[in-house]
């Protein structure tokens, strides 16, 4: 019998999965202690806060601020990835949207989002927001009496960087044909009001948290939320002109794979802050452990996507490899602190296979996503969240499914409803002429590149 490359791949994946299950069963005391979940805002003094040294508190707070800076770098990664995977005539538009998202997102999170996501009280479903700012002379806000890991301001800036990510995910999916003014209004509503609601459900002590749902750093709270919001918008917006023809699917090639690759590596770098910062302290064991599982997940996703693309597409596809890295990172994000090193590879590898299949299926369905955001963040986020229940005995698969379904459904409905209303009021799509000309000139009056100097 001749054993094909495809057969070897599936045999290898099955063997790895079986080894992982056995490894999980064998683990007990060897599992690392769990870190506090991302964004569990502590407003009352704890025994730990009362005993922690000033030096340790300083180190913890410094790490959360460094982690926030690393997550900020992810927005540069998104900007370069999105612009690299799209046509050069839309580069300024892509970059402008990313500038708008991070600047407006931080301000919105300060004025409303932070206190609505981490309220002092709430009904488990919704809380009113308000200005986050504190008093510099208030000891509770500037010492470990607020939290053993960070000050009020360290807490805010770290979480603000997360908030803006949801709209960035949508930005890539609707690239090259969305009307700029409409997107600006939409992103304000998404980041300012919708994201804090589902964030509160889990990280702010809402009903999902009470149910036992677990999402360490945001596979669902951030990524699935953004992915399914993007899906709703793309369905309303429609595909780019010329993408789907009577003769089949016409690839619209991105203008710079170097830019796209730089973007992915910047995102990987930023993910050390995204996941490592979600430990919420500078605990040497947990931070280093999360760094390792995060990287192993990325590698597993890349290798799986590379080999499946070589088998199915008959060539090593760089864009699939890059999306495999991102899918692995998204997949490991929910359980980076509670799954083993080996399991993180399996989670990442399955993420890589899923993103490959999802990109092809979504394209077959004529859902046009220029950067693969729906597949990477939506499908990868759901899988990563469910994987926590599969690979950690401490969490229920059923609960994980309920939690990620609730977040994904809310994002889809809320984003879709908002985008549809905006379509009725002001339109969501540029004209055919503007799309052909390119949004850089049509929307901004200036191309990204002057190659005739």
Residue 160 lies in a domain: yes
What is the C-alpha R_g of the chain? 22
Backbone phi, then psi, for 202, in 5-degree steps?
Answer: -105, -65
Residues 6+ apart with CB under 8 A from 242: 250, 252
Q: How far apart are CA 256 and CA 258, in angstroms?
A: 5
Q: How far apart are CA 283 and CA 238, in angstroms?
A: 47
pLDDT, mean over the chain: 87
Q: How far apart are CA 376 and CA 382, in angstroms?
A: 10
Residue 26 lies in a domain: no
pLDDT digits (tens, 9 = 90+) for 184-217: 999 999 999 999 999 999 999 999 999 999 999 9
pLDDT of residue 243: 87
**Quick one: CA torsion of 273, 278, 282, 283, rounded to 10 degrees?**
-130
Mean pLDDT of 98-124: 91
Q: How far apart are CA 93 and CA 441, in angstroms?
A: 9
Domain span including residue 129? 13-21+35-444
Residue 357 · residue 320 · CB < 8 Å = no
Residue 429, strand partner residues: 178
pLDDT of residue 44: 44
> Among candidates 278, 23, 35, which has minimal Cα distance to 159?
278
Residues 6+ apart with CB under 8 A from 290: 35, 275, 276, 278, 279, 336, 337
- Percent pLDDT > 70 in the chain is 88
Q: How crowded is residue 264: how many other Cβ atoms within 10 Å of its Cβ?
A: 24
Residue 67 · residue 158 · CB < 8 Å = yes
- Percent pLDDT > 90 in the chain is 73
Residue 453 has pLDDT above 80, yes or no: no
pLDDT digits (tens, 9 = 90+) for 208-229: 999 999 999 999 999 999 999 9
Q: How crowded is residue 329: how many other Cβ atoms within 10 Å of its Cβ?
A: 30
Q: Looking at per-residue confidence, does 217 or 166 come out higher?
A: 217
pLDDT digits (tens, 9 = 90+) for 15-62: 444 344 344 433 433 333 344 344 433 334 445 555 788 889 999 999
Q: How far apart are CA 235 and CA 247, in angstroms?
A: 22
How far the first Cα of the chain sits from its last, in Å, is 62
Residue 249, strand partner residues: 244
Residue 353 · residue 320 · CB < 8 Å = no
pLDDT of residue 43: 38
Q: How many domains does the chain have?
A: 1
Task: Note the helical H segments in 143-256.
Answer: 152-173, 180-189, 195-202, 207-211, 225-237
Residue 400 has pLDDT above 60, yes or no: yes
Asked whether the CA dihedral 408, 35, 123, 136 is positive or negative, the reply is negative
Residue 7 lies in a domain: no
pLDDT confidence bin for 167, thresholds 50/70/90: confident
pLDDT digits (tens, 9 = 90+) for 252-288: 999 999 999 999 999 999 999 999 999 999 999 999 9
Residue 153 lies in a domain: yes
Q: How far apart are CA 4 and CA 8, in angstroms?
A: 6
Residues 6+ apart with CB under 8 A from 133: 110
Burial of 434 (0-12, 13-18, 19+ CB in 10 A): middle
CATH code, domain with 342 = 1.10.3430.10
Q: Which two tokens stand for residue 261?
A: 């690759």
Residue 7 has pLDDT above 50, yes or no: no
Q: Which two tokens stand for residue 338?
A: 């509670």
Residue 246 · residue 305 · CB < 8 Å = no
The owner of tokens 């049509």 is: 442
pTM, to two decimals: 0.87
Q: How far apart are CA 257 and CA 177, in angstroms?
A: 21
Burial of 4 (0-12, 13-18, 19+ CB in 10 A): exposed
Residue 2 lies in a domain: no
pLDDT of residue 50: 53
Residue 1 lies in a domain: no
pLDDT digits (tens, 9 = 90+) for 278-329: 999 999 999 999 999 999 999 999 999 999 999 999 999 999 999 999 999 9
Residue 6 lies in a domain: no
The secondary element (H helix, E strand) that includes residue 283 is: none
Number of H helices, E strands in the chain: 20, 2
Residue 29 lies in a domain: no
């Amino acid at each position: 019998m001749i054993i094909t490359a495809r057969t070897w791949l599936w045999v290898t994946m099955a063997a790895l999965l079986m080894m992982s299950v056995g490894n999980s069963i064998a683990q007990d005391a060897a599992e690392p202690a769990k870190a506090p979940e991302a964004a569990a805002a502590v407003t009352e003094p704890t025994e730990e806060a009362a005993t922690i040294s000033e030096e340790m508190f300083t180190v913890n707070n410094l790490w959360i601020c460094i982690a926030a800076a690393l997550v900020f770098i992810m927005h540069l990664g998104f900007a370069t990835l999105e612009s690299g995977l799209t046509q050069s005539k839309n580069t300024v538009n892509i970059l402008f949207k990313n500038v708008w998202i991070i600047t407006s997102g931080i301000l919105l999170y300060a004025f409303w989002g932070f206190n609505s996501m981490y309220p002092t009280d709430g009904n488990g479903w919704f809380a009113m927001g308000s200005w986050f700012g504190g008093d510099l002379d208030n000891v509770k806000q500037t010492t470990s009496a607020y939290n053993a890991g960070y000050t009020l301001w360290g807490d805010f800036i770290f979480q603000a960087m997360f908030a803006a990510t949801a709209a960035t995910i949508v930005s890539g999916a609707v690239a090259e044909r969305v009307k700029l003014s409409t997107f600006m209004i939409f992103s304000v509503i998404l980041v300012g009001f919708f994201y804090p609601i589902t964030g509160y459900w889990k990280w702010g002590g809402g009903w999902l948290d009470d149910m036992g749902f677990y999402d360490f750093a945001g596979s669902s709270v951030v990524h699935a939320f953004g992915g399914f919001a993007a899906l709703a918008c793309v369905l309303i917006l429609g595909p780019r002109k010329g993408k789907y023809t009577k003769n089949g699917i016409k690839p619209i090639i991105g203008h710079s794979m170097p830019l796209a690759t730089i973007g992915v590596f910047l995102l990987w770098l930023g993910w050390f802050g995204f996941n490592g910062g979600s430990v919420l302290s500078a605990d040497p064991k947990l931070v280093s452990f999360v760094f390792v599982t995060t990287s192993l997940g990325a590698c597993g996703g890349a290798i799986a996507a590379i080999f499946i693309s070589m088998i199915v597409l008959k060539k090593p596809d760089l864009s699939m490899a890059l999306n495999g890295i991102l899918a692995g990172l998204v997949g490991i994000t929910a359980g980076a602190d509670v799954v083993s090193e080996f399991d993180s590879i399996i989670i990442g590898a399955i993420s890589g296979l899923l993103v490959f299949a999802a990109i092809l299926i979504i394209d077959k369905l004529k859902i046009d996503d220029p950067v693969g955001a729906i597949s990477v963040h939506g499908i990868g986020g759901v899988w990563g969240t469910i994987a926590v229940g599969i690979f950690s005995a401490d969490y229920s698969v059923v609960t994980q499914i309920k939690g990620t379904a609730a977040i994904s459904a809310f994002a889809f409905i809320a984003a879709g409803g908002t985008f549809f209303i905006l379509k009725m009021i002001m339109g969501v799509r540029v004209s055919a002429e503007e799309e052909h000309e390119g949004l850089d000139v049509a929307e901004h009056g200036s191309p990204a590149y002057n190659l005739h100097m």
